[in-house]
Amino acid sequence: MMSSANMHKSKPRRISKEVHKMIEDMAHTGMTVPAIHQKLQTLGITASRQTVRYHASGKAKTGCNRPTTTNNTVYRQTMSLVEEITKENDETTARQIKVFLATKYQQHLSLSTIRRMRRKLGWRYGKVRYSPMIRDVNKEKRVIQAQQWLNSGETFNDVIFTDETSVALERFARFAFNRKDHLSIKPRPKHPVKVHVWGGISRKGAGPLVIFEGIMDKAFFIENIVDSSLVPYIQQHWPSGHRLFQDNDPKHSAAASHLELRGIRWERTPPESPDFNAIEMIWANLKYHIRTVYKPKTKEELINGIRDYWLNVLSVDLCNKCIDHLANVLPVAIERGGQATGM
């Protein structure tokens, strides 16, 4: 029967590369394991005979040349390199960094070490967020506008934020729990039914809402949006004055004279700036509500779900929260030189 000591034989203790090299060199000169063990003890190096035998045999692997926190200079330099590489190309994999450091700096790191370093630096691997491309001329306009709003202490108290979007018939959340015996596979039509929505919000809460199908051109915008919805809303809720925020879509620009004729004060904002319009967050919230809460199965249910959200979910507090969020967006737009904030 095997003894308890053999059944639970311990692995050789890991030692530094320097001690490993010392043991190898002594072994190559013909020194026995007991002699090497005794020599190490006289040098104040703790290592069992089993460890000495293992490293003297030539079977031991020295492992990666991983910088440790005890070697602060090398560790900081390596961390700086990892940070620089990731900043330059945030799609760089740990394996690519490993090859680069080994080739250019003779620094041999394991993949786990590189991943751990990136986590310490605050990097997290996740889904890429896409944003609209912005032309250089409009980047400059965005920075100027953001600075003006911040310097003047803009509160948007009299602003009506308007925009249009498309809402598809979706009744499943984007994320769900999976297991081997329960794969979350949901049906999804190739061309889902969708409707278009135009709406407005302000500090006073939800504004007018128009649900339609087909293309919105200048004639439709003037008749069904401006004259039938926007003007009556302004006359009832903003008798003392207002400002209208909307994008610079050609149909909006084509109707500029009609807006002025009807007493609507359209304050133009920089082109290619959806993140400067608070209603964009409302659209995201609306679509999330439709597919996760309302879960429509027909176009009629989809339309009813949109109306239900606008009347019963879109509160004054939610509208103000989205408008207040602009105070976070503007400094980021300036810091990024007018590029899209993704916020």
Query: What is the predicted pLDDT for the residue at 21?
Result: 82
In a domain, 62, yes or no: no
pTM for this model (two decimals)? 0.65
- Per the structure, the count of domains in the chain is 3
For residues 110 and 208, state if they share a domain.
no
Residue 275 burial class via C-beta count within 10 angstroms: exposed 0-12, middle 13-18, buried 19 and up: buried
Distance, in Å, from the CA atom of 215 to the CA atom of 280, rounded to the nearest integer, reads 20
Residue 205: band (very low, low, confident or very high) from pLDDT cuts 50, 70, 90? very high
If you write DSSP's letter for every residue of 120-185 in order, what string do you get?
HTT----PPPP-----HHHHHHHHHHHHHHHHHT---TTEEEEEEEEEE---S-S----BTTB---
Nearest Cα neighbor of 132 from 277, 318, 285, 286 is 277
In a domain, 35, yes or no: yes
In a domain, 268, yes or no: yes
Nearest 10 degrees: CA dihedral of 69, 73, 78, 79?
A: 70
Per residue in 14-60, pLDDT tens? 778 788 888 888 888 888 888 888 888 888 888 888 888 888 877 66
Query: What is the predicted pLDDT for the residue at 2?
Result: 46
CATH of the domain at 288: 3.30.420.10
For residues 183 and 149, state if they share a domain.
yes
In a domain, 67, yes or no: no
In a domain, 224, yes or no: yes
Q: Which helix (H) or strand (E) holds 306?
A: helix 299-308
Per residue in 68-92, pLDDT tens? 554 577 788 888 999 999 988 988 9
Per residue in 158-201, pLDDT tens? 999 999 999 988 766 666 677 767 766 666 666 778 999 999 99
For residues 43 and 82, state if they share a domain.
no
For residues 24 and 88, state if they share a domain.
no
CA distances from 135 to 130, 132, 142, 273 (A): 16, 10, 11, 11
Asked whether residue 4 carries a pLDDT value surpassing 60, the answer given is no
For 297, other C-beta atoms within 10 Å of its C-beta total: 9
Distance, in Å, from the CA atom of 245 to the CA atom of 229, rounded to the nearest integer, reads 15
In a domain, 33, yes or no: yes
For residues 221 and 178, state if they share a domain.
yes
Expressed as residue numbers, the domain containing 108 is 72-120
For residues 104 and 231, state if they share a domain.
no
In a domain, 313, yes or no: yes
Residue 318: band (very low, low, confident or very high) from pLDDT cuts 50, 70, 90? very high
For residues 34 and 169, state if they share a domain.
no
For residues 52 and 170, state if they share a domain.
no
Distance, in Å, from the CA atom of 128 to the CA atom of 330, rounded to the nearest integer, reads 22
For residues 188 and 86, state if they share a domain.
no
CA distances from 330 to 147, 230, 284, 336 (A): 8, 27, 20, 10
For residues 51 and 92, state if they share a domain.
no
For residues 103 and 140, state if they share a domain.
no
For residues 91 and 180, state if they share a domain.
no
